[in-house]
Structure 1
Amino acid sequence: MREFDYVVIGGGSAGCVLAGRLSEDPTVRVCLLEAGGSDASVLIHCPAGLAAMARSGAFNWGLHTTPQAGLGGRRGYQPRGKVLGGSSSVNAMIYARGHASDYDHWAAAGNAGWGWNDVLPYFLRAEHNERGASAWHGADGPLNVADLQSPQRASRAFVEAGVQAGHPRNDDFNGAQLEGVGLYQVTHRAGERFSVAKAYLTPHLGRTNLQVVTGAQATRILFAGRRATGVEYRRGGQTQQVRATREVLLSAGALLSPQLLMLSGVGPGAQLQSHGIGVVHDLPGVGAHLHDHPDVVQVMDAPRLTDLFGLSLPGALNVLRGVREWRAHRSGMLTTNFAEAGGFIKSRPEEPLPDLQLHFVVGKLLDHGRRATWGHGYSCHVCLLQPRSRGRVTLASADPAAAPLVDPAFFSDPDDMQRMVRGVRRMREILAQPALASLGARELPHSSRAQSDAQIEQFIRDWADTIYHPVGTCRMGCGPLDVVDAQLRVHGLQALRVVDASIMPRIVSGNTNAPTVMIAERAVDLLRQAA
C-alpha cells in the first residue's frame, strides 16, 4: 500500500486542478487516480476532433438516463469524459461562468464564502485570457481562454440575426452583463484545445511528488471508523490500494461521485443495505438533487452553405484541406468548436434575468452528433438555464463496474416545459431574421411541423436531452439533505471532501466547466488552510 498526503479520485477538470496546484508544494505528495487513459490523442488536441469523439466511446463513459417520462419514455444520453482532463477534453470548449447572482444564491443558501465577490478572484486566478487582464478577466492563470480563430460566416450571421431580433450584442458573456448574443470565447490556444489537463496537470507530470495513475477505476473509499484513509481501485484486472495521510478528494463528477460514495457505504442507508453494502454513514442526500440544463436542437438544411461542415463531396474536400492546414499551421476550419456563437436571452420580456441559453452550431446536429445526415446546414440549441425539476443518481448494484442509474427527471416540473416552449419560439424568431434567412436554409420536417404550443411541446418531448451540465448530487449546504459543508467536507466524516460540479447547490446560468475549475481552485485554498 502506497502512501500520499492527498489522493484525488478523478482526473477531470476539478481533479487536474487539485493535483496540479497541491503538488506545487514539493513537500506535499499527491496521487491522482483516473479511470481513463492519457490525453495524447489528436482527436482531443484538434478542436474539430470533437465530431469524431461523439461517435466513439474511447474517451467517454457513455452513460444513459433511466427512461424519462418527460421525454416520452426515452432514455437520454449522458456523455462524460473518461480521460485525463475529463469532460474538458471532449467538450465544446466554451468558457462561461454564468450570472453573478448564481453564486450569491449559493451564499444565501448558507454557504459562506461562495458569493460572487468571493468566487470572482478564483475565476481570475485560473484564467489566462488572451484579451488581457481587466476587472472581469485574469491574464496570469493556467487556463488559456481565447477568441475563436476562424469563426464561420454563418456564426457571424447568427449574431447579426440576434441583434435584428432585438437582443443586445454581447462581445463578452463573462463581462459586465450576461444578456445578449455574440461569439463565445473558448479554452484553446494556438489552434489546439486547451483542456484543464493541459493547463494544470500534464506540464507537471515530471514532479517527483506527483503520481498520476491512469486506467485506475476507484471501487471504494477506505475508512477507519468515520475517517477516510485511502482508496481501493482496479487497474489491469488487479485490485490495489493507496493511502491518504491527510485527505481523500473525490472529483469523479456529478454522476460518478455519488456512486462511489454509495459504493463506499456513504449514502441513503436503506438503499445501501438493499444492495448488501455496509453503511459507514447514513447520508440521505447523496445522489439527490440531480439537475441539468434540458436542451432541444432545431436543425436547418442549407444546401448552398458548403463551407459549413456536412456530408457531401465539397464537404469532404473542405475537411481534407482543413486537415492539411491544421497539421501544417494549426489554423483553418478544424480550429472550430462547432458551437461558435450563442446567447443568453429571456423567454419573455418580464423575466428579471436571462432564463435561456442558445448555442449556434456550424453543422446539422442530430442525436448529439451521433447520427449522420446528408448535406450541409446549421443547428441551434435552446436550453433552460434554471430548471426546477430535480432527479437522483442511485445504484444499479453493488458492482463498481455497473453504471449508476441516472434519473434527471426532465420536465417533471411543468414550469420547465412552459419556458422551453417559449424558448423554441424565441429561437425561431432569431433564425427567421434577414441575416440568416438570406442564407436560404430550411427547417427540417421533424421540427417544422411543430407550430402550436402543444405541437412544440411534443417536439421537445420527442427530441430534447441534456446539454451535458449535470450538477447537484453532493449538494453543498447545511441542511439534512446536503452532503458537504461550505468547506466541501462530507458531513459526518473526516478527511473526505467532494470537489466537482456535484456540490453546486443550484446550477449556474451557463456552461459548467469554468465554474468547476473555480470550485477546485477555491478548494485548494481551503485544503492549504486546513493543513
Structure 2
Amino acid sequence: MQADTDFIVIGAGSAGCAVAGRLAEIPGATVTLLEAGGRDNNPWLHIPVGYAKTMYHPTISWNFMTEPEPELHGRRIPWPRGRVLGGTSAINGLVYLRGQVEDFEHWRQMDCRGWGFEDVLPFFRQAEDNERGADAIHGAGGPLAVSDLRDSNPISAAFIEAAVEIGLPRTRDFNGIVQEGAGWYQTTTRNGRRCSSFTAYLRPARPNVRVETGAQTRRLLIEDGRCVGVEYNQGGQVKQLRARREVVLSGGAIHSPQILMLSGIGDAEQLRAHGIPVLRHAPGVGRNLQDHFQARLLFRATQKVTLNDVLASPFGKFKAGLEYILKRTGPLTYAAATSGLFAKVLPQSATPDVQFHFIPFSAEKMSDGLHKFPGFTMSVCQLRPESRGTITLASGRVEDAPLIHANYLTAQTDRDCMVAGLQLGRRLAATNALRPWIAEEFLPGPAAASDEDLLEFCRQHGNTIYHPSGTCRMGEDDGAVVNSQLKVHGIEGLRVADASIMPTVLSGNTNAGSIMIGEKCAAMIKTAA
C-alpha cells in the first residue's frame, strides 16, 4: 500500500512535532507525521507531577536499558523515552533550559555553520510563549508555553539561600546570557498543565497534517541516492509512504541512528554482520553518544513540608488533588525540580560544569515510590561529559531494541567533576540556610567521607538524567552524519532533526534545545523550497 505526501516526519517527539507544525505553514503543503506510540490520552500525561506515573509506564515509555556499564559495576541503567504523541516531552520533568551561550559558540567552532548563539536565538524566541513576556532573548506568543512555578516550597527556597550564603550568585533566569547561579526553574506548562511539543505545535489539529500513531518505521526508502519515502509497521501490516519533497527523521538519539542503520546507512562492517545491504558507509552513525550522568544526595527533612508527606495519606492526596482541580496549583504542579543551581567545581572550567536539580521529595528509585518519611533531594549532574558511548544494532529487525553503551565515567574528568559536585552539595547542606531543614543525610550518608567513597557511591547509585544525544553528529568531517543544513551526508531528500545531531550535549536539560533544532530545520526547508 502506498500513498503520497509532501513531507514525512518520523517521530512525534520534541523536535518532530516542531518540524511538522512549522512545515504545515507552507501554503498547500501536506505533512504526514509517523509516531510509533499511541495518542496522549492518559490523563497523567497532562498533569505536571504525572511524569512519576508515565516515565516507566509499560506502553507510554520505550523503557530501554543500557548494556552493562563497566564503570558502574556492570549495572544496566534504565533509559525511559516517550512512546506517545509528544515523545519524551510528554513524560519528562518539564524543566525549560536552553544551555549556555558558549555551547552554541562551541558548535560553531566545530564547523557547524549557522549554529552559533546568535543564529539559534531567533528559533528559541519564536518557539516560546514565556509568561514573563518578550525581551531581547525571550519570546512571547510562540507555541511552547514557558511558565514560572505555580507552587514553591520552603526548602526549595532555602536551597537558593544556601547557595547565596556560600558566595554563589542568585539568578532570575537560567536561560539568560550568563547561566551561573541559583534560582527557580521555569517549566513547559500552561495554567498548571504540561505543554508537550505535540500540545504546543499540533493541538488543535491542522487539516494538512496527518498524524499516524502505532506506526513504527522499519526503514527508509532510498532510490538512486535519494530518500523517497518510508516503510513502516502499523496494525500488523507493512505499509509504505512516499514523500514528494523531503523526509525528516526525528526519532531521537536512539531511534534515529537505528533507523539509518536499518536502512543501510552506517558502519559497513556492522551492517553486513546483520545482513543489511550497505547503501552508504557512514561510520559516525550511532557513535558520539553523550548523556548527562547524575548522583543524588538524599536527605531526611526535619519538617513535614515535602511531597513525601503530602502523598503519605489518603487525605493528603485528596487535598492535593482538589487544589489542583480547583486552582491548578499545589504539589501536583511540581516539575522534576523546583529550584536549581549552575556552578563551577573544576579549576579548569570557565563556565558552570555542574547542575543541581533541587527536588522537594525523595525516593531511591522513582519506580519504587516516595519515601515514607519527610525527605528531599539534591541531584548533581555533570554538564559536559567527556565519556562517549555508542548505539549499535542488536539485529536487522526494528522490533529488537538497539544496544546502548553509555560508557559513563570512563573519562577521568567526569569522575572528578561528579565527586566535586557532591562535595559542593554537602557544603550547601551545611549552611545556616539549609541545615535547620535537615535531620540527616540519608544517602550516601556520613560513612561516605573520602573522594574514593563518593566515587564509589556514584558507581553504585548514579543514574542517567535522561539527556541522550549526539549519535547523528552534525559537522563537515568524515565522522559527521549530517551537515549544517541537517542533511544526511551522501543522501538527498533526507534530514535528521533531534538531539542526535548535537555535536556536544547542551549544558542543561535538552528538551528546549531539541525543539529549537526542529524549528531551525523547518525554517531551512522553507528557505530551500
TM-score for the superposition, normalised by structure 1 = 0.97
What is the identity, as a one-letter code, of the residue corresponding to 1:145? V
Asked if the contact 2:298/2:443 (under 8 Å) is kept, the reply is: no
Give, in angstroms, the shift of residue 245 of structure 1.
Answer: 1.1
Q: Deviations over 1:136-167 (max 9, x none)?
A: 21112111111000111111111111111221
Give, in angstroms, the shift of residue 360 of structure 1.
Answer: 0.6
Q: Secondary structure at the match of 2:245?
A: strand
What is the identity, as a one-letter code, of the residue corresponding to 2:326? A
What is the identity, as a one-letter code, of the residue corresponding to 1:272? L
State the partner residue of 1:389: 387
C-alpha distance in 1 between matches for 2:502 and 2:336: 27
CA-atom RMSD, angstroms? 1.4
State the partner residue of 1:408: 406
Uncovered stretches (5+) of structure 1, i.e. residues with no partner: none
State the partner residue of 2:248: 249
Match of 1:435 among 423, 430, 433: 433
Q: Note the 1:259-278 alignment, pairs <5 A.
A: 259-278=258-277
Q: Secondary structure at the match of 1:186?
A: coil
Asked if the contact 1:191/1:330 (under 8 Å) is kept, the reply is: yes
Give, in angstroms, the shift of residue 449 of structure 1.
Answer: 2.0
State the partner residue of 1:279: 278
Q: Note the 1:304-453 alignment, pairs <5 A.
A: 304-310=302-308, 315-348=313-346, 351-453=349-451
What is the identity, as a one-letter code, of the residue corresponding to 1:271? Q
Of all paired residues, the percent bearing the same amino acid is 45
State the partner residue of 2:238: 239
State the partner residue of 2:459: 461
Uncovered stretches (5+) of structure 2, i.e. residues with no partner: none
Give, in angstroms, the shift of residue 406 of structure 1.
Answer: 0.6
C-alpha distance in 2 between matches for 1:384 and 1:465: 11
C-alpha distance in 2 between matches for 1:436 and 1:57: 38
State the partner residue of 1:216: 215
Asked if the contact 1:388/1:416 (under 8 Å) is kept, the reply is: yes
Q: Deviations over 1:204-252 (max 9, x none)?
A: x2x3321000111111111112111111111111111111111110000
State the partner residue of 2:115: 114
Count of residues in correspondence between the two structures: 528
Asked if the contact 1:338/1:362 (under 8 Å) is kept, the reply is: no
Q: Deviations over 1:25-66 (max 9, x none)?
A: 241110000011111221011111112224422311100111
Q: Does 1:64 align with 2:65?
A: yes
What is the identity, as a one-letter code, of the residue corresponding to 2:415? M
Q: Secondary structure at the match of 1:182?
A: strand
State the partner residue of 1:166: 167
What is the identity, as a one-letter code, of the residue corresponding to 1:245? R
C-alpha distance in 2 between matches for 1:91 and 1:377: 22
What is the identity, as a one-letter code, of the residue corresponding to 1:473? T
Give, in angstroms, the shift of residue 129 of structure 1.
Answer: 0.7
Q: Deviations over 1:455-491 (max 9, x none)?
A: 1110011111110111100000011111000000000
Give, in angstroms, the shift of residue 128 of structure 1.
Answer: 0.9
Asked if the contact 1:309/1:315 (under 8 Å) is kept, the reply is: no
Asked if the contact 2:298/2:444 (under 8 Å) is kept, the reply is: no
C-alpha distance in 2 between matches for 1:369 and 1:152: 23
TM-score for the superposition, normalised by structure 2 = 0.97
Is the alpha carbon distance of 1:371 and 1:328 closer, same or farther for their aligned partners in structure 2, counting shifts above 3 Å?
A: closer
State the partner residue of 2:287: 288
State the partner residue of 1:89: 90
State the partner residue of 2:488: 490
Q: Note the 1:78-227 alignment, pairs <5 A.
A: 78-203=79-204, 205=205, 207-227=206-226
Q: Secondary structure at the match of 2:114?
A: coil
What is the identity, as a one-letter code, of the residue corresponding to 2:238? T
Asked if the contact 1:357/1:510 (under 8 Å) is kept, the reply is: yes
Match of 2:469 among 465, 468, 471: 471
Asked if the contact 2:160/2:340 (under 8 Å) is kept, the reply is: yes
State the partner residue of 1:509: 507
State the partner residue of 1:24: 25
C-alpha distance in 1 between matches for 2:91 and 2:303: 26
Asked if the contact 1:105/1:115 (under 8 Å) is kept, the reply is: yes
Relative to structure 2, which stretch is displaced further, 36-45 or 487-496?
36-45
Q: Secondary structure at the match of 1:198?
A: helix
Asked if the contact 1:295/1:464 (under 8 Å) is kept, the reply is: yes
